[in-house]
Every structure is written in C-alpha cells, then in structure tokens.
Amino acid sequence: MSQSLSSFADLLRAVEHTAVHLELRDTYDMGNETAGFDAWKQGHRLDPSDRASWWRPWLDLVQEVTAKGVLIRRARVISEPPSEYIRYEHSFTFTNVAAGEEVRWLPRGSASDIVLPDHDFWLFDGRLVQFNIFDDAGRWIRTDQTEDSTAATRCATAFEDVWERAIPHEKYSI
C-alpha cells in the first residue's frame, strides 16, 4: 500500500470525532514490508518492551490524533484458518493498540449475513469515505473518496455490524 503517509496523515488529523477502518482482505502486497515479513517467517517477533524498534510514523500519528480525543477503531474480517499474512499482521497489532487504536477481528464465517462493501475503507467522522482499491494480488491501486451520505451510511452500518460481533484483539489468538 503506497498512499503517501503525509496525505493520509492530513486526512486523519482533520478528524474531529471518529475514524473507522474496515479491512476485508486475507493478504496484501508486502511492498516495502517484505523484510519485516521475511524476518517474521524466520521467527523474529517485535518486543513489546522495545517501543523504539516499532514502526514510528504510523504510531506517532495515531497517538497524536487519539490524544485530541479522536476514537480510532479498526475491524478485520478474516478467513479461518488465517492466511500467513494475517498471522503476521496479528503478531504486531499490539503496536496499534498501544498507540491508541481499538482493533477487533471477525472470522469471515461469522460475517456471512452482514452486507459488506467490495473494498476496504476508512470512514472519517461518519461522512467522508475513503475506499482502498486493491488488485487480486493485494497490490494497492488507488483510493476513491466520497462524501455521498448514502455511501457513508452504508459503510457505517457495515462497520458497526462487524464491530458488534468482532473479537477484541486482546482476546483473539491465532
């Protein structure tokens, strides 16, 4: 995923109340994360007590935004058994939580009756939707943004339906 952090950071910094992120894929192209994924496959795990070694730009941004009272929630709909990428992602999600995000996981089988969009999205303050468009291999193609109230309402509903059933990160083990 190569949307620039600065442009996304501007969007997130403009949020006044809530930012929610729904992730629907079991794999994403690793791009510049390949070295971390390879190290993880060799047994390396992030040390929760060595905060300085974590990926700082995202965590700093989350801390900045949540410190001003913005609630950031992330829900991931995943297949079980989880893909290798999801297991990797789960292993470092504690960093998102430590930075101030709330994260939950929902097994795909528990989402069968939830109407979900075709694409991952961020919903900012319940009004601006940013869809993240990926190809079949999980490579980020582009983002599409809309302030259409119908799209925002549908995304909010999908997110809340997932969130209600999803398992908090601290209770979901892989």
User: Mind listing the pLDDT tens digit for each residue in 82-115?
Assistant: 999 999 999 999 999 999 999 999 999 999 999 9
Q: Return the ∠ at Cα 78 (arms to 173 and 124), rounded to 5°.
A: 105
Q: Is residue 130 within 8 Å of residue 19, measured between CB atoms?
A: no
Describe the crossing of helices 56-67 and 5-13 by its angle, rounded to 10 degrees: 10
Report the Cα–Cα distance between both ends of the chain, in Å, rounded: 24
Cα separation of 67 and 75, whole Å? 21
* pLDDT, tens only, 107-138: 999 999 999 999 999 999 999 999 999 999 89
Q: Return the ∠ at Cα 48 (arms to 52 and 69), rounded to 5°.
A: 75
Phi (first) and psi of residue 62, to 5 degrees: -60, -45
Cα separation of 31 and 105, whole Å? 23
Domain spans in the chain, listed from the N-terminal domain onward: 5-43+53-171
CATH of domain 5-43+53-171: 3.30.870.10
Provide the token pair at 30: 């690793």
Q: What is the pLDDT, as a whole number, of residue 26?
A: 96
Provide the token pair at 70: 């913005």
Average the pLDDT over 42-46 and give the result. 94
Q: What is the pLDDT, as a whole number, of residue 133?
A: 95
pTM comes to: 0.93
Provide the token pair at 3: 């949307």
Q: How many CB atoms lie within 10 A of CB 145?
A: 14
Run of H or E residues at 9: helix 5-13
